[in-house]
């Protein structure tokens, strides 16, 4: 009974927080304090959060090193643009098709490649990402290497916000469910998990498909904000960018992924003025963080109200900790 | 116990990061002041949004250098309308989204016009922000036809201009050159299929060449980063073309020409401005490059005093010869300064109107007039490699 009350309280608090955050930003955009420049970075932030959180499900929680995330993003981007720009369907259809197409690709790729482990899987997924890019470059329907331009801007703040919240809620709940425990058991010890009767292939593919679907969502949002999509955007460097966020935040920490995505976006925007040395400073900061926090900013911990209480002398809480 | 300690430290670090981001946010806010745009300001801010990192960093780098030399020259001569030009140099990392991001930041900082980015894709990324803010963009080297005109509606993009000729112009020029000057009737096309630039050149070359009575005997393609062309070259050799058109970038083309000559293919070979790089001679060798021709924006060896003074200034500063990107960056700034002077104002909308009226502007890449689709009307130089030297035809 006590527990149930606490859960409800927590839920209501979270909803209030989210609504407040949404309204605040919406207000700032309406009155013009957040101009186009800030809006662009806000959008990039949201898209990066979706990408990092979804890749974290595959790399962090399932422990399968995938380097093809940009490929799924590309599929989502092009699938949604084909629906909206070329075939004139509404944006929501574009998003749904994007997610389905990316999930399907995740399934097709996942089934054969997830038998591989470690380096081999990394190489297979890397190759897959490149294949998608090269194939897209040679399809005339999608404009070949120049891609498709003239995409209407439909990724507004409400759309972006809902997408980010849905992504995090779905992935966090998945991890906290029995599916999630099975997925984590695969990461911890695949043989032991198998012995315990867990169908490891099934859970690996599941994580892969869900991760891919959300990468597709990110691709759709990306395409409908930046006016033009071209295959070159989704090269393997893009996959590495996402991987950097996941590793920086801490493999296996959703809050870590979110924070790292925000951190990287802000860092990138901040360094814009130092054009010449930008990439050097960027790399240096990453190296320094990795030297002092090799497990990532948050390791595999989550940041919650509990951890805040712990810092601000919440002695009564610490007793409930493990 | 240990875990808890780490969690604490980690959380603290995260807090620091958050605070930092807040500070950064404020810092960005201070620089944005709309008052500084246009006539009221003490300097005229020119945004330079270039690819300084990423795959095409060398274009952005050279073009920026060219643009900065032009700004230096103008400032030394007293500026424009009595004001100094203030360059705001930013890196778009060769990414379309970053190009848009940078343009938005520059608009926020009060630029009156933007030079760059260099490639057609990044210019398109930047386009929507420029149109929204009504600030003109002068693209030094975006050659795709659709950059200045919306393909779907056929409408001209009001604020987008360029100082280079289009892909179609280049393909057509080389086809005419092959037919009329080299007197060939049978040509083969062996171009890159990885980018629209090379595909466009091939398409326009073919159309013009066939329309004027030539025949295309073979059409083959390669991918960027390919290193082995002998198989396809042998196939092409079997068709006995009198001329081979190789649109693409110097990275692949230099190797391709070397292998072609090794296979005993002695016919003339032609290409586009993607060939323009000192690496061509280094990789292919001077001898292999004999009897090859490419369309280009200008020639370093042109005796025109304006060109020679630019080449000297550039070599003194950067210890290398300026390529076309540098020259086009230089011309873009000079054209902008010319437009501001003619407009008598640094208001972006007036600059745009003045740019549209440009007639016979004497740039170092040729004398140009801007047509109603915002493309320059200018002549195209054909350059021949002669014993490793560039000779304009």
Inter-chain contact A146–B97, Cβ cutoff 8 Å? no
Is pLDDT at B318 greater than 80 in this prediction? yes
Chain A's closest residue to B153, CA to CA, is A150
Is pLDDT at B29 greater than 80 in this prediction? no
Inter-chain contact A40–B100, Cβ cutoff 8 Å? yes
Per-residue pLDDT of B131-189, as tens digits, reads 999 999 999 999 888 899 988 888 999 999 999 988 889 999 999 999 999 999 999 99
Contact A306, A315 (CB under 8 A): no
Per-residue pLDDT of B100-143, as tens digits, reads 999 999 999 999 999 989 988 899 999 999 999 999 999 999 98
Which candidate in A43, A147, A232 is best for mutational testing of the B interface (most B CBs within 10 A)?
A: A232
In which element (H, E) is residue B139 found?
strand B137-139
pLDDT of residue A270: 87
Strands laid side by side in the B376-377 sheet:
B361-363, B366-370, B376-377
Inter-chain contact B107–A270, Cβ cutoff 8 Å? no
Distance of residue B105 Cα from the nearest chain A Cα, in angstroms: 5
Distance CA B327, CA B314 (A): 10
Copy the structure tokens of residue B77.
């001569």
Inter-chain contact A259–B90, Cβ cutoff 8 Å? no
Is pLDDT at B32 greater than 50 in this prediction? no
List the single residue in A228, A263, A273 with the smallest CB-CB distance to B125: A228
Number of A/B CB contacts below 8 angstroms equals: 131
Which candidate in B28, B103, B117, B167 is best for mutational testing of the A interface (most A CBs within 10 A)?
A: B28
Percent of chain B with pLDDT over 90: 67
Is pLDDT at A56 greater than 90 in this prediction? yes
Task: Single out the residue of A289, A257, A267 nearest to residue A56, CA to CA.
Answer: A257
Helix (H/G/I), strand (E/B), else coil: B203: helix
Q: What are the Cα distances from residue B84, in Å, to A87, B33, B42, B69?
A: 50, 19, 8, 14
Among residues 129-148 of chain B, which lie with CB inside 8 Å of chain A?
129, 132-133, 144, 146
Contact B328, B365 (CB under 8 A): yes
pLDDT of residue A307: 67
**Chain A positions in Cβ-Cβ contact with residue B14 (cut-off 8 Å):** 259, 297-298, 303
Which candidate in A135, A145, A151 is best for mutational testing of the B interface (most B CBs within 10 A)?
A: A145
Q: What is the CATH number of domain B168-296?
A: 3.40.50.2300
Is pLDDT at A247 greater than 50 in this prediction? yes
Please determine whether the domains at B38-165+304-379 and B168-296 fall in the same fold group of CATH.
yes
The residues spanned by each domain of chain B are 38-165+304-379, 168-296
CA quadruple B133, B135, B136, B137: dihedral sign = negative
What is the rounded average pLDDT for all residues in chain A? Answer: 88
Distance of residue A144 Cα from the nearest chain B Cα, in angstroms: 7
Q: What is the mean pLDDT of residues B318-344?
A: 94
Is pLDDT at A197 greater than 50 in this prediction? yes
Characterize the bridge pairing of strands B113-115 and B137-139. Answer: parallel
Is pLDDT at B89 greater than 80 in this prediction? yes
Contact B53, B120 (CB under 8 A): no
* Strands of A101-194, DSSP E: 148-149
Whats the size of chain B, residue-wise?
A: 393
Contact A94, A83 (CB under 8 A): yes
Whats the size of chain A, residue-wise?
A: 322
Name which residue leads in pLDDT, B130 or B9. B130
What is the rounded average pLDDT for all residues in chain B? Answer: 87
pLDDT of residue B224: 84
Name the CATH superfamily, with its identifier, for domain B38-165+304-379.
Response regulator (3.40.50.2300)
Distance CA B254, CA B262 (A): 13
Is pLDDT at B206 greater than 60 in this prediction? yes
Per-residue pLDDT of A63-111, as tens digits, reads 999 999 999 999 999 999 999 999 999 999 999 999 999 999 999 988 9
Distance CA B56, CA B2 (A): 48
Distance CA B243, CA B246 (A): 10
pLDDT of residue B130: 94
Q: Does B28 touch chain A (CB under 8 A)?
A: yes
What residues are paired with B295 via a beta bridge?
A: B382
Which candidate in B6, B9, B10 is best for mutational testing of the A interface (most A CBs within 10 A)?
A: B10
Chain A's closest residue to B128, CA to CA, is A227
Q: Does B105 touch chain A (CB under 8 A)?
A: yes
CB atoms within 10 A of CB B7: 20
pLDDT of residue B9: 53
How buried is A273 (Cβ within 10 angstroms: 0-12 exposed, 13-18 middle, 19+ buried)? middle
Tracing tokens 């379309």 back to the chain, one arrives at B96
Percent of chain B with pLDDT over 70: 90
Distance CA A163, CA A165 (A): 6
Distance of residue A256 Cα from the nearest chain B Cα, in angstroms: 9
Name which residue leads in pLDDT, B217 or B18. B217
pLDDT of residue A301: 81
Distance of residue B88 Cα from the nearest chain A Cα, in angstroms: 8
The residues spanned by each domain of chain A are 36-235
Percent of chain A with pLDDT over 90: 57
Is pLDDT at B34 greater than 50 in this prediction? no
pLDDT of residue B28: 40
Tracing tokens 């981001």 back to the chain, one arrives at B21
Is pLDDT at B3 greater than 70 in this prediction? no
How buried is A4 (Cβ within 10 angstroms: 0-12 exposed, 13-18 middle, 19+ buried)? exposed
Average the pLDDT over each of A19-28, A272-281, A289-298 and give the range with the smallest value.
A272-281
Q: Which of the residue ranges A291-295, A314-318, B209-213, B275-279 has the most confident prediction, judged by mean pLDDT?
A: B209-213
**Chain B positions in Cβ-Cβ contact with residue A36 (cut-off 8 Å):** 104, 107-108, 129, 132-133
């Amino acid at each position: 009974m006590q527990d149930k009350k606490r859960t409800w309280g927590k839920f209501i608090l979270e909803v209030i927080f989210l609504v407040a955050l949404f309204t605040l930003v919406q207000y700032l955009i309406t009155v013009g304090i957040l101009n186009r420049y800030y809006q662009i970075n806000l959008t990039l932030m949201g898209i990066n959060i979706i990408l990092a959180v979804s890749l974290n499900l595959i790399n962090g929680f399932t422990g399968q090193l995938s380097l093809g995330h940009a490929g799924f993003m590309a599929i989502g981007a092009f699938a949604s643009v084909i629906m909206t720009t070329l075939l004139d369907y509404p944006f929501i259809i574009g998003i749904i098709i994007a997610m389905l197409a990316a999930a399907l690709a995740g399934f097709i790729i996942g089934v054969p490649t997830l038998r591989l482990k470690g380096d081999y899987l990394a190489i297979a997924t890397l190759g897959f990402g490149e294949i998608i890019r090269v194939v897209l470059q040679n399809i005339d329907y999608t404009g070949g290497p120049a891609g498709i331009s003239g995409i209407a801007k439909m990724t507004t703040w409400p759309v972006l916000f809902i997408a980010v919240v849905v992504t995090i809620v779905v992935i966090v709940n998945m991890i906290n469910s029995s599916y999630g425990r099975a997925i984590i058991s695969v990461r911890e010890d695949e043989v032991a998990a198998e012995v315990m009767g867990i169908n490891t292939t099934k859970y690996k593919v599941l994580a892969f498909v869900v991760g891919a679907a959300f990468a597709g969502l990110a691709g759709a949002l990306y395409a409908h904000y930046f006016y033009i999509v071209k295959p070159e955007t989704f090269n393997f460097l893009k996959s590495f960018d996402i991987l950097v966020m996941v590793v920086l935040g801490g493999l296996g920490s959703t809050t870590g992924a979110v924070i790292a995505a925000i951190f990287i976006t802000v860092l990138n925007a901040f360094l814009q003025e130092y054009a010449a040395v930008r990439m050097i400073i960027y790399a240096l900061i990453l190296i320094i963080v990795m030297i002092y926090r090799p497990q990532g900013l948050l390791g595999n911990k989550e940041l919650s109200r509990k951890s805040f209480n712990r810092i601000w002398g919440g002695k009564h809480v610490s007793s409930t900790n493990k | 116990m240990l875990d808890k300690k780490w969690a604490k430290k980690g959380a603290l670090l995260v807090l620091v990061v958050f605070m930092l981001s807040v500070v950064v946010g404020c810092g960005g806010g201070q620089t944005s002041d709309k008052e500084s745009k246009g006539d009221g300001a003490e300097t005229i801010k020119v945004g330079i949004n270039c690819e300084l990192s990423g795959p095409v960093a060398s274009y952005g780098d050279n073009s920026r250098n060219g643009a900065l030399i032009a700004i230096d020259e103008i400032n030394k001569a007293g500026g424009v309308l009595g004001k100094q030009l203030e360059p705001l140099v930013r890196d778009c990392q060769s990414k379309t989204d970053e190009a848009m991001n940078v343009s938005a930041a520059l608009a926020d900082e009060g630029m009156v016009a933007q030079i760059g980015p260099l490639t057609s894709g990044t210019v398109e990324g930047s386009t929507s922000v420029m149109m929204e803010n009504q600030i003109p963009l002068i693209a030094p080297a975006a050659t795709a036809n659709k950059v200045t005109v919306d393909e779907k509606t056929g409408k001209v993009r009001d604020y987008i201009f360029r100082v280079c000729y289009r892909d179609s112009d280049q393909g057509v020029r080389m086809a005419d050159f092959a037919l009329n000057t080299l007197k060939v009737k049978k040509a083969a096309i062996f171009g890159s299929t990885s980018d629209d630039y090379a595909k466009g050149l091939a398409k326009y070359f073919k159309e013009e060449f066939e329309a004027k009575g030539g025949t295309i005997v073979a059409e083959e393609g390669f991918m960027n980063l390919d290193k082995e062309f002998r198989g396809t070259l042998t196939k092409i050799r079997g068709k006995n073309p009198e001329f081979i058109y190789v649109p693409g970038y110097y990275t692949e083309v230099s190797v391709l020409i070397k292998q072609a000559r090794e296979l005993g293919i002695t016919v003339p070979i032609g290409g586009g401005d993607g060939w323009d790089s000192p690496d061509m001679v280094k990789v292919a060798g001077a001898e292999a490059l004999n009897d090859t021709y490419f369309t280009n924006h200008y020639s370093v060896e042109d005796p025109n005093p304006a060109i020679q003074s630019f080449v000297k200034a550039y070599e003194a500063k950067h210890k290398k010869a300026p390529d076309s990107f540098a020259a086009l960056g230089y011309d873009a700034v000079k054209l902008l300064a010319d437009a501001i002077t003619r407009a008598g104002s640094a208001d972006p909308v007036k600059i745009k109107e003045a740019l549209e009226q440009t007639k016979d502007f004497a740039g170092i890449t040729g004398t140009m007039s801007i047509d109603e689709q915002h493309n320059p009307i200018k002549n195209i130089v054909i350059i021949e490699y002669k014993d490793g030297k560039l000779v304009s035809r």
